Structure 1
Amino acid sequence: MTPKAVVFDIGNVLIEWQPERFFDTQIGEERRRALFAAVDLHGINDRVDAGENFTAVFTQAASEYPEWSTEFALWHDCWIEMAAPRIDHSVRLMRALQTKGIPVFSLTNFGIETMVIARKEYEFLDAFDHDFISGHMGVIKPASRIYELLEEGSGLSGNDLLFTDDRIDNINAAAARSWQTHLFEGPQGWADRLISAGLLTSEEAR
């Protein structure tokens, strides 16, 4: 069945998201390993993605772990450097779909304030036909409710939707709702999936 809309995750699909890589360049691999072992930074970031205020969350974390206050400041102040670079081929695929009149939605774990920062850097984040951003919805993937909210907001469900994400737990949650899915492991594989779905030609997917 040909999908009626295509749903993109953003982090590691349209924009690289590699905090560990960033911290390796800033504080060295050894200290980065100690930091991530001592503090659940990804869990703290999940609070932002679920709708809590970005600055407030990291200010609180710095007060709870004063020995890592400099690193928390780096995460907060240099956030856009972790969310980089754009994955150009994926952006081209998004635009190619829209050129053909195929609706493209975002479904992303993203904070309210961090999305504002990202949109200043990446103009294509304003181009989705419909945004489903976890911070605004108050729930993050892979909770079933976030997928329900997309279905309610778009009027589409099941096989009408083709979803790509780099995390298998998020993919499995979508597949459980009978969405068509693709585990993103690189833009060429995603291009091939869009071709096999009958949405783009090989030339359009370059």
Structure 2
Amino acid sequence: MTPQAVVFDIGNVLIEWQPERFFDSVIGEARRRAMFAAVDLHAMNDRVDRGEPFRDVIQETAAATPGWHAEILLWHDRWLDMASPEVPRSVRLMAALQRRGIPVFSLTNFGRETYALAETRYPFLKQFDRDFISGHIGAIKPDPAIYATLEDGSGLSGPSLLFTDDRPDNIAAAAQRGWQTHHFTGPEGWAARLVSAGLLTESEAE
């Protein structure tokens, strides 16, 4: 069936999210590898994405790891430099769908404060028809609860939803609920999927 709404992940779909790349540029690859081996920074970020206070989580982690204290604080102080740049074609695809009157939702692992911060740089984040942000929901993908929240909030479920995400585990959780899915590996493939789904023409998907 033709989807009735399109659901976008944000990190690595609309905005590049590569903390390792950022730290490589600041402290060098060798030190970055050592830091990420010593500290589970992605688990730290998951706490923020579940709704814990951004500054508190980063400062607590930095204080608990004095050997990496200054570097860990960069996760807070230079967060916008990590969450960059936008993926221009994905942003254009979002706008093209909305011009066709197709509802576009976000379904994203994002903290409360970090999402508000990202909105200051990326105005398109304020343009979703509905936002489903993990920090406000209190659950992160691939927890079934966050998908259920979107279904309850939108009144849509199963194949009426087309969802793209860069992580296979998040895609698998949506597919288990009967959603149509696309594993995002680049905007070209996503554009082709939107055309094949009958949502955009090839010219609209450019």
TM-score class, shorter-chain normalisation, is: over 0.9
1:49 paired to 2:54: no
Determine the C-alpha separation between the residues in 2 that align with 1:81 and 1:91: 19
Q: Equivalent residue of 1:106, what SS?
A: strand
Q: Alpha-carbon deviation of 1:63? A: 1.1
Q: 1:82-108 deviations in whole A, cap 9, x for unaligned?
A: 000000000000000000000000000
Deviation at residue 134 of structure 1 after TM alignment: 0.1
What secondary structure does 1:6 align onto? Answer: strand
- TM-score norm. by structure 2 comes to 1.00
CA distance in 2, matches of 1:189, 1:138: 31
Unaligned residue ranges in structure 2 (runs of 5+): none
Count of equivalent residues = 206
Determine the structure 1 residue equivalent to 2:77.
77
Structure 1 unaligned segments of length 5 or more: list them.
none
Residue matched to 1:157: 157
Question: Counterparts of 1:178 and 1:48 in 2: how far apart (Å)?
Answer: 29
Cα distance, 1:4 vs structure 2 = 0.1
TM-superposed CA distance for 1:72, in Å, is 1.1
Corresponding position of 2:121: 121
Alignment of 1:51-66 (within 5 A): 51-66=51-66
Aligned twin of 1:203: 203
Q: CA deviation at 1:188?
A: 0.4
Q: Which residue identity is paired with 2:182?
A: H
Question: What is the distance in 2 between the residues matched to 1:193 and 1:30?
Answer: 39
**Which residue does the alignment assign to 1:189?**
189
> CA–CA distance in 1 between the matches of 2:124 and 2:91?
7
AA aligned to 1:53 is: P
Residue 16 (structure 2) aligns with = 16
2: distance between equivalents of 1:16 and 1:27? 20
Q: Which runs of 4+ in 1 moved over 6 A?
A: none
Residue 132 of structure 1 deviates from its aligned partner by 0.0
2:177 and 2:150 mapped to 1: Cα distance?
A: 12
CA distance in 2, matches of 1:114, 1:196: 34
TM-fit CA distance, 1:38: 0.5
Tell me which residue corresponds to 2:40: 40
Distance (whole Å) between structure 2 residues aligned to residue 71 and residue 136 of structure 1: 27
